[in-house]
Amino acid sequence: MDIDAQTTIQALKTYKAQITEMDRKVQLFLSDRQRHPYPKYQELIDEIRRFENGVYRIKFGFQNTEVHMRLDSLMHSLLVYEQAWKRLFERDLENYQKGRSPSLDSAPPEPPAEERHPLIDKVYAFARKKWAESGIEEIESREALAKRLLPEYQSARKSLKEGERISVVYDPGSRRVKLTVKKS
């Protein structure tokens, strides 16, 4: 092997190490932008491509395929890392934009967990059914029903005795649903 081939192989090894080091810098930058500087990966890509063009101008002869195999390996690694870096930066930009502006087609937020009560959901569905059967409009909103029935439910639950249960009944006179304690 002549000296040009040896120095070229050493340069290829150095560039391979620089690619893996640049990948580490990209990962660090994306993890914490305040502490780590922007990685100049595009400059490294351009430098390696210029080196590739220079290698192809050197005549190594047919017997030296190691240089060309290592160069192909380096260029393949460069291509893979370049695509990965591009995807990482695109994904990071998308995440940044999602955090900055809410999307227009997003659904309205659900009420907090303390406002959503399964009992109220069931009672409100029962009340709507009874109102529809009676042919009247909704008298109470879900929120008003919750304000009225939850305190009653909590106090009835505390005073329950063995063999009693809380049930929901519809009062046609007042057109409202009420909670009653019944013996089971």
Two tokens, residue 76 = 């393949």
Query: Per DSSP, what are the bridge partners of residue 177?
Result: 170
Mention every residue, 6+ apart, whose C-beta is less than 8 A from residue 12. Answer: 67, 70, 71, 74
Q: What angle do CA 140, 108, 115 make, to 5 degrees?
A: 50
Two tokens, residue 110 = 């659900």
User: Is residue 121 scored above 70 in pLDDT?
Assistant: yes
pLDDT given for residue 104 in this prediction = 45
pLDDT per position as a tens digit, 87-98? 999 998 888 888
pLDDT band at 114 (very low <50, low <70, confident <90, very high): low
Per-residue pLDDT, averaged over 51-60, amounts to: 80
Q: At what angle do helices 66-100 and 3-31 cross, to 10 degrees?
A: 10
- Is the Cα dihedral 93, 95, 97, 100 positive or negative? negative
What letter would DSSP give residue 60? -
pLDDT band at 1 (very low <50, low <70, confident <90, very high): very low
pLDDT per position as a tens digit, 62-108? 557 888 888 899 999 999 999 999 999 999 888 888 876 544 445 55
pLDDT per position as a tens digit, 130-161? 888 888 888 888 888 888 888 888 888 888 88
What integer best gives the mean pLDDT of the chain?
Answer: 83
Strand segments (E) across the chain: 164-171, 176-183
Tokens 């460069």 locate to 78
Q: How far is CA 182 from CA 155, 158, 169, in A?
A: 15, 14, 11
